[in-house]
C-alpha cells in the first residue's frame, strides 16, 4: 500500500493553522447557549443590592403567580433541602485555627456579603418571564456595616464577615526566617522599600458563564453542559453539594469563548442550575449577562504589599522582606487563598539568587466579590513586586539596571536550583535570555529614539523585566485514550480543555508526530467527564502535562498495535516495523495499513487507555522590554515598542505560542495602564460594573510586537521538553510597562515620583504625578 508522506508539515515545530477555527469562522461553533433542547426553561437570579445585610424575609408569592413561572427558590429552601455549602479556604489562621470564611451557599441564606450575591432563583418558560418574576421577588434586608478595602477590614472595630474571623483574617502564612532577614537588613549598604498595589481586575471573556442542565428521565442522570476549563472539578462540586454519586452527573463542554482562569471550578450559580433541572425534570439554562459577570464572577489580583530589598555595597541582594494583604473578598476559597499565600511566593525571588527571605501574607475577608484565578494567578503580582524593586534598587545604588540584574542572576551551573520557598528550577539560562531580549529591543539605540521623542514634546522611557514563572498546577498525572478507528482515523480524548488557546491543534500535532499520518486523520475530543477524568486546563499545564500524556499514550497505542500486527503477519513483534500509517515485516514485502488492522479487531478498533505523569513543574522565563511615550500635556501613555525573548522550551506550534505570548502581553498592558475594579468605600457598590466604566485595552493600543522563543534549554521534567506558555506574556508585560513609565519620569527629572507610581497608570494619574 502507499502512504501519505505529507504528514511532517503538520507535526511539531510547524506553524499549523488551528483546526478549531474553521467551524468558528463559519459560525458553526457550539457554545452552551447554542444548545436549546425541547422544553428548555430559563433561570434568572435575584441578586443583593447591598454589600452586607441580614435577610429578614423573602416574599416570593407575587413572582410565583406570574405567567410562565415554574419555580422560585430561596437560600433557606435550598438549605432545608440539604444543598450543602461550597468548601472553605483550607490553610490556617495565625493562631493555628482552621482558615475562616463564611459558609458560601448556592443562594445566600440569612446574610448577604457582597453586591451581586445571588439570593433567589426564578425559573420560567422564557427569559423575559424569568426576569419579570425576579423583579417581583421582594427581599427585606437589614443593612449592616460593610468594608471593601483590605486595610479597612483589618482595622480595629471593622465589621466582621463571620464569627470565626473577628479580625477578618481568613488565613495567614509566613515564609523564611524573620530574624536572619532582619540581620541581613541591619548590615546592608542599601535598602529599598516600596508600597505596591496590584489592583483588583476583572477577567473579561468573550463568552460569559453559561450553564445548561438536563435530567435524563430514563436513568435519572444529570447532564450539565457549560463553559468551563475544568469539567471534572465542576462535576465533583455539583455532586458534593447535591449529595449525588459521581456517576450520576456528566459535565460536557463545547466551544469556550475564553477562560483566563475565572472558569476554573464551580460557582454557586452552577449548583442552582443543576438543582433546578433535577427538581423540575426539564432542561434549565442560565447565561450570565455582562453586568452579572462584573458583579459576581471571581475577580483577580487585589494585593497590597510593603516590599523591601537589602543589598550590599556591590549591589548583591542580601535579603527580601514582604508583607502583603490579599483582599480575597466575601468568601475565601482554596484557590483564592493559595494564589496569594503560596503560589505567588513560590516565584517571588524569581531569577535572582536570593536565599534570605521574610514573607508575611494575610488573606483578608471584605464585602467584595471573591477573588480567584486570573491569568498568571499570583505570579504576575510577585514578579511585579520583584521587578519594581530591582529598578528602584538600580536608581538607589547608582548601578545600571542591566548590570544589577546580571550581578544577581542564578547561573546555569547552579541548576537544578532550589529557591528559598523550596521550589526546584530544573533549567534556566537567564542572562542568555536577557542578552537576546536587549538586542531584540535595540536597547543601545534608545538614546536616539528618546531624543526624537523629546523634540516632539514627548517623554520616552525604556522598561525591563527579567523573570520566571511556575506552571502546572502541581497536578502532574493525566489520562488519555487513543483509539484507531476502522477508517484509519486516530481519535484522542484528553481531560485538558480548549478555551480558545488552540490546544486541540497542538495535541493533534503530537499525534501526527507519533503516528506519521496527516492531521486530517486525527480527531481530538475534549470536555466530557464520561470519557475521562482529569484536572482540566489551568496553570499553563495543558501541553506539558496533557501533551506529554498524549505522547506517551500514542506510543503505547502503537506498541499495542504492533503486537496485533505481529499476530496478523505471524511474525515476531521485534520484526514488525511501523511508519506513516502502515506496518511491515523486516526483510519482507508484507504490509498492513493502520485502518485495515483496526478493521480486523473484534470491536473494529484499536484502543489504548493510558495514564502517565510528568516529574515536576516547568519554569518558563523571559526578558520583556517595553518602550513608552508619554504626552505630558494629557498624561496619556502609549506603548510604542515591545520586544520579548521567551524560554518556553521546545515549541510545538510557533504560531500558537506567539499568539499566547502577545495576547497575554496585551492583558498585562491592560492592567498596567487601564484596568481596575473599583468599589465605593462608603456604599460598597461596584463603580466599574460595565464597559462604560471598566477600561479594557483596544486592538489599536497594542504595540508592534517583536516576539522570539528560545528553544535551547528544554525542560527536563516532561518527555516533550516543553514549558508552559499561556501566562508568560501577562507576567512580563505589567512590570516592563510600569518600569518604562518610571524610567521616563526619571529621565524628565521626576525620579522622586517613580516609587509612588501605582497601577493603572491612567492619563489622569500620570498627568497628576508630572505636576510640580
> CA nearest 354: which of 470, 189, 197, 180?
180
Q: Which are the contacts of 577, defined by CB distance < 8 A and separation ≥ 6?
A: 583, 584, 585, 586
Residue 238 maps to a domain: yes
3-state SS class at 308: strand
- Grid cell of 274 as nine digits: 443543576
Q: pLDDT tens digits, residue range 747-761?
A: 999 988 889 999 999
Give the HSE-up count for residue 419: Cα atoms under 13 Å, Cβ half-sphere.
Answer: 27
Q: Is the pLDDT of residue 248 over 80?
A: yes
Which domain CATH number covers 131?
Answer: 3.90.1170.50
Q: pLDDT tens digits, residue range 88-114?
A: 999 999 889 999 999 999 999 999 999
Tell me what the mean pLDDT of segment 221-249 comes to.
96
Tell me what the mean pLDDT of segment 225-254 comes to.
96
> Which pLDDT does position 4 carry in this prediction?
56
Q: pLDDT tens digits, residue range 47-56?
A: 999 999 999 9
Domain limits for position 406 = 299-471+617-770
Tell me what the mean pLDDT of segment 696-714 comes to.
94
Residue 114 maps to a domain: yes
One domain, residues 525 and 647: no
- Residue 671 CA from chain centroid, whole number: 15
One domain, residues 341 and 449: yes
- Grid cell of 124 as nine digits: 420560567
> Strand 169-176 relative to strand 222-226: parallel, antiparallel, unpaired?
unpaired
User: What single-letter DSSP state applies at residue 444?
Assistant: G
Residue 628 maps to a domain: yes
Q: Is the pLDDT of residue 16 over 80?
A: yes
Residue 26 maps to a domain: yes
> Which pLDDT does position 1 carry in this prediction?
44
Secondary structure (DSSP) of 512-526 = HHHH---GGGEEEEE
Q: Would you place residue 538 in the very low, low, confident or very high pLDDT band (cuts 50, 70, 90)?
A: confident
- Grid cell of 571 as nine digits: 511474525
Q: Would you place residue 2 in the very low, low, confident or very high pLDDT band (cuts 50, 70, 90)?
A: very low
Residue 165 maps to a domain: no
One domain, residues 542 and 635: no
d(CA 224, CA 662): 34
3-state SS class at 326: strand
Among candidate residues 273, 296, 319, the one where a domain is terminated: 296
Predicted model pTM: 0.96
Q: Which residues of 290-328 are buried (b: 16+ CB within 10 A; e: fewer)?
A: eebbbbbbbbbbbbbbebbbbbeeebebbbbbbebbbbb
> Which pLDDT does position 543 carry in this prediction?
85
One domain, residues 93 and 239: yes
Residue 159 maps to a domain: no
Which domain CATH number covers 627?
Answer: 3.30.365.10
Q: Is the pLDDT of residue 68 over 80?
A: yes
Residue 622 maps to a domain: yes
One domain, residues 499 and 549: yes
d(CA 602, CA 609): 17
Biggest distance spanned by C-alpha atoms of the chain = 89
How many structural domains comprise the chain? 3
One domain, residues 756 and 721: yes
Among candidate residues 582, 613, 644, the one where a domain is terminated: 613
One domain, residues 662 and 643: yes
Tell me what the mean pLDDT of segment 286-292 comes to.
97
| Helix (H) and strand (E) counts in the chain | 21, 28
> Which pLDDT does position 74 carry in this prediction?
98
Among candidate residues 613, 636, 653, the one where a domain is terminated: 613
Q: Would you place residue 241 in the very low, low, confident or very high pLDDT band (cuts 50, 70, 90)?
A: very high
d(CA 142, CA 155): 23
One domain, residues 245 and 127: yes
> Which pLDDT does position 536 carry in this prediction?
79
- Residue 616 CA from chain centroid, whole number: 19
Residue 316 maps to a domain: yes
Tell me what the mean pLDDT of segment 731-760 comes to.
95
Q: pLDDT tens digits, residue range 183-215?
A: 999 999 999 999 999 999 999 999 999 999 999
One domain, residues 605 and 641: no
Tell me what the mean pLDDT of segment 385-400 comes to.
97
- Grid cell of 4 as nine digits: 501519505
One domain, residues 582 and 713: no
What ranges in 313-466 are assigned the alpha helix state H?
334-338, 344-346, 379-397, 401-408, 430-440, 446-455
One domain, residues 632 and 662: yes
> Which pLDDT does position 3 carry in this prediction?
52
Q: Is the pLDDT of residue 6 over 70?
A: no
The more confident residue out of 634 and 2 is 634
- Grid cell of 70 as nine digits: 415554574
Q: Is the pLDDT of residue 261 over 80?
A: yes
Q: Report percent pLDDT > 90 for the chain.
A: 90
Question: Is the preceding peptide bond at 760 cis, omega within 30 degrees of 0?
Answer: yes
CB–CB of 643/441 below 8 Å? yes
- Residue 148 CA from chain centroid, whole number: 24
Q: pLDDT tens digits, residue range 478-521?
A: 899 999 999 999 999 998 888 888 899 999 999 999 999 999 99
Tell me what the mean pLDDT of segment 315-334 comes to.
98
Q: Would you place residue 535 in the very low, low, confident or very high pLDDT band (cuts 50, 70, 90)?
A: confident
- Calculate the average pLDDT of the chain: 95
One domain, residues 269 and 342: no
Q: Would you place residue 649 in the very low, low, confident or very high pLDDT band (cuts 50, 70, 90)?
A: very high
Amino acid at each position: 500500500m502507499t502512504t501519505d508522506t505529507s504528514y511532517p508539515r503538520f507535526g511539531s515545530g510547524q506553524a499549523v493553522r488551528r483546526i478549531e477555527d474553521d467551524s468558528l469562522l463559519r459560525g458553526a461553533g457550539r457554545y452552551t447557549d447554542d444548545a436549546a433542547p425541547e422544553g428548555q426553561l430559563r433561570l434568572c437570579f435575584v441578586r443583593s443590592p447591598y454589600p452586607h445585610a441580614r435577610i429578614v424575609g423573602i416574599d416570593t408569592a407575587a413572582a410565583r403567580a406570574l405567567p410562565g413561572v415554574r419555580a422560585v427558590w430561596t437560600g433557606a429552601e435550598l438549605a432545608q433541602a440539604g444543598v450543602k455549602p461550597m468548601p472553605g479556604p483550607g490553610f490556617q489562621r495565625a493562631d493555628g485555627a482552621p482558615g475562616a470564611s463564611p459558609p458560601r451557599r448556592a443562594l445566600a441564606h440569612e446574610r448577604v456579603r457582597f453586591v451581586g450575591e445571588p439570593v433567589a432563583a426564578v425559573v420560567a418558560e422564557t427569559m423575559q418571564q424569568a426576569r419579570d418574576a425576579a423583579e417581583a421577588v421582594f427581599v427585606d434586608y437589614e443593612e449592616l456595616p460593610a468594608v471593601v478595602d483590605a486595610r479597612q477590614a483589618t482595622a480595629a472595630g471593622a465589621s466582621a464577615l463571620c464569627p470565626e474571623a473577628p479580625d477578618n483574617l481568613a488565613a495567614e502564612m509566613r515564609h523564611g526566617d524573620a530574624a536572619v532577614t532582619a540581620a541581613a537588613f541591619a548590615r546592608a549598604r542599601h535598602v529599598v522599600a516600596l508600597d505596591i498595589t496590584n489592583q483588583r481586575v476583572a477577567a473579561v471573556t468573550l463568552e460569559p458563564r453559561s450553564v445548561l442542565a438536563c435530567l435524563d428521565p430514563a436513568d435519572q442522570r444529570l447532564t450539565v453542559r457549560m463553559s468551563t476549563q475544568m469539567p471534572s472539578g465542576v462535576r465533583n462540586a455539583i455532586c458534593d453539594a447535591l449529595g449525588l454519586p459521581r456517576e450520576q452527573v456528566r459535565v460536557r463542554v463545547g466551544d469556550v469563548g475564553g477562560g483566563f482562569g475565572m472558569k476554573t471550578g464551580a460557582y454557586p450559580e452552577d449548583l442552582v442550575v443543576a438543582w433546578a433541572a433535577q427538581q423540575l425534570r426539564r432542561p434549565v439554562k442560565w447565561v450570565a449577562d455582562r453586568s452579572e459577570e462584573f458583579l459576581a464572577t471571581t475577580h483577580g489580583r487585589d494585593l497590597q504589599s510593603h516590599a523591601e530589598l537589602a543589598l550590599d555595597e556591590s549591589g548583591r541582594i542580601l535579603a527580601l522582606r514582604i508583607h502583603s494583604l490579599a483582599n480575597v473578598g466575601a468568601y475565601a476559597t482554596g484557590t483564592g487563598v493559595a494564589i496569594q499565600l503560596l503560589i505567588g511566593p513560590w516565584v517571588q525571588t524569581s531569577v535572582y539568587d536570593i536565599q534570605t527571605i521574610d514573607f508575611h501574607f494575610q488573606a483578608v475577608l471584605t464585602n467584595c466579590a471573591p477573588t480567584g484565578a486570573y491569568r498568571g494567578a499570583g505570579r504576575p503580582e510577585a514578579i511585579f513586586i520583584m521587578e519594581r524593586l530591582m529598578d528602584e534598587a538600580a536608581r538607589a545604588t547608582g548601578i545600571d539596571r542591566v548590570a544589577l540584574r546580571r550581578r544577581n542572576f542564578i547561573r546555569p551551573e547552579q541548576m537544578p536550583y532550589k529557591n528559598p520557598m523550596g521550589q526546584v528550577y530544573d533549567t534556566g539560562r537567564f542572562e542568555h535570555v536577557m542578552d537576546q531580549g536587549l538586542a531584540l529591543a535595540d536597547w543601545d539605540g534608545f538614546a536616539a529614539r528618546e531624543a526624537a521623542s523629546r523634540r516632539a514634546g514627548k517623554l520616552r522611557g525604556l522598561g525591563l523585566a527579567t523573570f520566571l514563572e511556575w506552571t502546572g498546577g502541581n497536578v502532574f498525572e493525566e489520562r488519555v485514550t487513543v483509539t484507531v478507528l476502522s477508517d484509519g482515523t486516530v481519535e484522542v480524548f484528553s481531560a485538558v480543555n480548549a478555551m480558545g488557546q488552540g490546544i486541540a491543534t497542538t495535541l493533534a500535532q503530537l499525534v501526527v508526530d507519533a503516528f506519521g499520518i496527516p492531521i486530517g486523520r486525527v480527531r481530538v475530543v475534549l470536555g466530557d467527564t464520561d470519557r475521562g477524568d482529569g484536572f482540566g486546563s489551568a496553570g499553563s499545564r495543558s501541553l506539558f502535562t496533557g501533551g506529554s500524556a498524549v505522547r506517551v499514550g500514542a506510543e503505547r497505542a502503537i506498541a499495542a498495535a504492533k503486537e496485533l500486527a505481529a499476530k496478523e503477519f505471524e511474525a515476531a513483534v521485534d520484526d514488525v516495523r511501523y511508519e506513516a500509517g502502515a506496518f511491515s515485516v523486516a526483510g519482507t514485502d508484507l504490509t498492513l495499513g493502520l485502518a485495515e488492522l483496526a478493521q480486523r479487531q473484534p470491536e473494529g478498533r484499536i484502543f489504548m487507555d493510558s495514564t502517565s505523569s510528568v516529574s515536576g513543574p516547568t519554569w518558563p522565563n523571559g526578558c520583556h522590554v517595553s518602550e513608552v511615550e508619554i504626552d505630558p500635556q494629557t498624561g496619556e501613555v502609549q506603548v510604542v515598542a515591545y520586544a520579548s525573548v521567551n524560554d518556553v522550551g521546545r515549541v510545538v506550534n510557533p504560531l500558537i505560542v506567539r499568539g499566547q505570548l502577545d495576547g497575554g502581553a496585551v492583558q498585562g498592558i491592560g492592567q498596567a495602564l487601564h484596568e481596575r475594579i473599583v468599589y465605593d468605600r462608603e456604599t460598597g457598590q461596584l463603580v466599574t460594573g460595565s464597559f462604560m466604566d471598566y477600561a479594557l485595552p483596544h486592538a489599536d493600543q497594542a504595540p508592534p510586537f517583536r516576539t522570539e522563543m528560545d528553544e535551547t534549554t528544554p525542560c527536563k521534567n516532561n518527555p516533550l521538553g516543553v514549558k508552559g506558555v499561556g501566562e508568560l506574556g501577562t507576567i512580563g508585560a505589567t512590570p516592563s510597562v510600569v518600569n518604562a513609565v518610571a524610567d521616563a519620569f526619571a529621565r524628565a527629572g521626576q525620579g522622586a515620583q517613580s516609587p509612588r507610581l501605582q497601577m493603572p497608570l491612567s492619563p489622569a494619574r500620570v498627568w497628576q504625578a508630572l505636576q510640580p
